[in-house]
Copies of this chain bind each other. A is one copy, B any other.
Amino acid sequence: MTKIGVGILGFGTVGAGVAHGLLANRDILRERTGLDIELRKIADLDISTDRGVALPPGVLTADAMRVIHDPTVQVVVELIGGTGVAKTFVCEALTAGKPVVTANKKLLAEYGAEIFALAASHNTDIYFGASVGGGIPVIRSLRDGLVGTKIETVYGILNGTCNYILTAMEQEGAPFDAVLKKAQELGFAEANPTLDVDGFDTLHKAAILAALAFGFSPDIHTLPCRGIRGTVEAQDILRAREMGYRVKLLAIIKNTPDGLELRVEPALVPAASMLGSVSGVFNAAMVKSDMDDWTLFYGRGAGRLPTAATVVGDIAEVARSLAAGTCRAVTMPKASAPVALKPLGDAVSSNYVRLSLKDAPGSLAATTSVFSKHGVSIRSAVQHGAADGFASVVLLTHDVRRADMLQALEEIRTLPCAGGEPVCLSIEEPGQ
């Protein structure tokens, strides 16, 4: 039986999960691939902490270069994360002609073009199935199953921390800060939660999905990105629920005749829909293509073993290619024509709007006349109880250009009847 040697860089949470998977499921990998996939080396600066995985002697080392250049290591698995040494090691392995498996979304979102070119120039491969969606096969599906289709829309709930917080805010009616604090205590949120709650993690993942679907590398620093901090209040989540919606932090990718929409923002989705049913730390990606109707992939977007399962799946695929003496060179597709991004102001959607208006005659009339002037058409309006002389009014709009919507709200802020800041969230209805 052909033996394929694996070297892992980074013995943290996911690294330990992959080591566990390769050791515990070596038998099932043999049955299914006909190959003996052997864990040969693991490099980590810390070689003393117990990670709960019993390694064979001689496997653990503090020297990553020794792992990369070990002649019995044929596949290099990068699980260090970030764009520092991880980038150095990935480039070193690819330059040595060794295929790399990684779960490093930040590295790919920021340096993807460079790294894919390096892999191609050394006739080797980089696999990154776990970089988006952890245990969910969304990358594999875009790359393989949907390879012959033109992608039209992708919605992603891609950050477990945000989805946990939004779910808890709905279930407990609690404010963001309190729920975040609890999530931090439970280990569902980092001490510095910026990457998650301000949307950047989701944006990194959205960039990778867009690259796979449309064959280009977006500059993530120019993409619209709103997280769930300072944008979503518990009362909006409860109002949304009353109207049959849930609030989710969405990666939104839409191919339209006048350009590609690519952004991250909190939005309302129908509560009874598949996307609306994704709760807690679970993630999902929903894809519509010209041939397939809506498909959805759901599961744990993070975590030691789910992420490791996907990494091991990538390792098995690389091993099959190596055993067949080939490099499949499945790197990023390249669009034949430049991909134009659509300005955010041109995005069209219906919207949830919450206004605080003076509880006095004429307030609503003044407001709706501004909406009307900017072409914002209201499909429903509910006034909720007044407090301190201000009433909370929740409106749902019909489809409207984002720029028109924002101009209308800007003008409403200056009306004499206006109270606090207006809240506006788009409504996305992917159908079944």
Shortest distance from the beta carbon of A278 to any chain B beta carbon, whole Å: 7
Q: Is the CB of A148 within 8 A of B293?
A: no
**Roughly how many angstroms separate A274 CA and B276 CA in the complex, as a whole number?**
9
Q: Is the CB of A282 within 8 A of B432?
A: yes
A25 proximity list for chain B (CB < 8 A): 148-150, 290-291
**Roughly how many angstroms separate A290 CA and B312 CA in the complex, as a whole number?**
13
Q: Which of A376-432 contact B (CB under 8 A)?
A: 432
A27 proximity list for chain B (CB < 8 A): 336
A316 proximity list for chain B (CB < 8 A): 144, 147-148
A300 proximity list for chain B (CB < 8 A): 292-295
Q: Is the CB of A312 within 8 A of B291?
A: yes
Q: Is the CB of B277 within 8 A of A292?
A: no
**Roughly how many angstroms separate A272 CA and B278 CA in the complex, as a whole number?**
10
Segment of A135-143, A235-243, A349-357 in the binding face: A135-143
Q: Is the CB of B289 within 8 A of A309?
A: yes
A335 proximity list for chain B (CB < 8 A): 31
**Roughly how many angstroms separate A28 CA and B296 CA in the complex, as a whole number?**
22
A345 proximity list for chain B (CB < 8 A): none
Scan A308-319; emit 1 where CB is below 8 A from any B CB, else 0. Answer: 111011011100
Q: Give the contact-size bracket for chain A.
A: 35 or more
A144 proximity list for chain B (CB < 8 A): 137, 140, 144, 313, 316-317
Q: Is the CB of B298 within 8 A of A293?
A: no
Q: Is the CB of B273 within 8 A of A309?
A: no
Scan A16-51; emit 1 where CB is below 8 A from any B CB, else 0. Answer: 010001101101111111100000000000000000
Q: Is the CB of B148 within 8 A of A29?
A: yes
Shortest distance from the beta carbon of A198 to any chain B beta carbon, whole Å: 26
**Residue from A21, A30, A291 with most neighbouring chain B CB atoms (10 Å):** A291
Contact A21/B309 with A295-B298, A326-B326 known, Cβ cut-off 8 Å: no
A149 proximity list for chain B (CB < 8 A): 21, 25, 28, 309, 312
A32 proximity list for chain B (CB < 8 A): 143, 147, 215, 333
Q: Is the CB of A277 within 8 A of B274?
A: yes
Scan A249-291; emit 1 where CB is below 8 A from any B CB, else 0. Answer: 0000000000000000000000011100111101000000111
Q: Is A324 an interface residue (CB 8 A)?
A: yes
Shortest distance from the beta carbon of A16 to any chain B beta carbon, whole Å: 12
Q: Is the CB of B21 within 8 A of A291?
A: yes
Q: Is A299 an interface residue (CB 8 A)?
A: yes
Which 8 residue pairs of A and B lie closest in terms of their CB atoms, listed nearest first?
Answer: A148-B312, A295-B299, A291-B309, A324-B326, A296-B298, A32-B333, A292-B309, A135-B292
In the assembled complex, 23 residue pairs joining A and B whose CB atoms fall closer than 8 Å, in A order, are: A17-B291, A25-B150, A25-B291, A28-B149, A30-B336, A32-B143, A135-B291, A137-B297, A140-B140, A145-B313, A147-B312, A147-B316, A148-B315, A290-B305, A294-B300, A295-B299, A296-B298, A296-B299, A321-B324, A321-B328, A324-B327, A325-B326, A326-B326
By a beta-carbon cutoff of 8 Å, the part of chain A in contact with chain B is 17, 21-22, 24-25, 27-34, 129, 135-137, 140-141, 143-150, 215, 272-274, 277-280, 282, 289-300, 303, 305-306, 308-310, 312-313, 315-317, 320-321, 324-330, 333-336, 432
